[in-house]
Amino acid sequence: MTRTKRGYIARRRRAKMRLFTLSFRGAHSKLTRTMTQEKIKALVSADQDRDRKKRDFRRLWICRINAVIRENRINKIYYNYSSFLYNLYKSQLLINRKILAQIAILSRNCLYMISNEILKSKKNSPEIELREGRVEICMRK
């Protein structure tokens, strides 16, 4: 049986790896074994960072909404983010955090109008309370 030389196939596989790790420093872009390890590590990090990006944006939106809500001292409403969102969902105004953050940045008056609407609906709506094991419906005045 004749001898088969695999140099071409192996070289092509390593060349593809080298293109991926071209910008890495030192041995991470030169040596084949460390190249493969660094490629795997880079791809894992890229996957984790896609999830991290979603978390970071959500935190940013929450910070923006909270900052604008706390500034609203015109109407003597001392809100914070958690109570604002609780009342928002309770009054069935379903707006996600991304849109609320854009409204907070671009037009604060619009966000203040939304918070005023929440307060109006909160005053006029009956509140369900649990007292001593039974449910009571109370109107706010």
Residue 1, domain member (yes or no): no
Residue 28, domain member (yes or no): yes
- From the list 96, 100, 91, the residue with the least C-alpha distance to 65 is 100
Total domain count, the chain: 1
Are the beta carbons of 72 and 83 closer than 8 angstroms?
no
Residue 25's domain is classified under what CATH number? 1.10.1900.20
Residue 2, domain member (yes or no): no
Provide the strand spans (E) within 1-141: 126-131, 134-139
Residue range of the domain that includes 73? 8-139
Give the C-alpha separation, 106 to 44, whole Å.
Answer: 37
pTM over 0.85: no
Q: pLDDT by residue for the chain (141 residues), tens digit each?
A: 788 776 788 889 889 999 999 999 999 999 999 999 999 999 999 999 999 999 999 999 999 999 888 887 655 565 788 888 888 888 887 888 999 999 999 988 888 888 877 777 766 655 545 455 554 545 454
Residue 3, domain member (yes or no): no
Residue 133, domain member (yes or no): yes
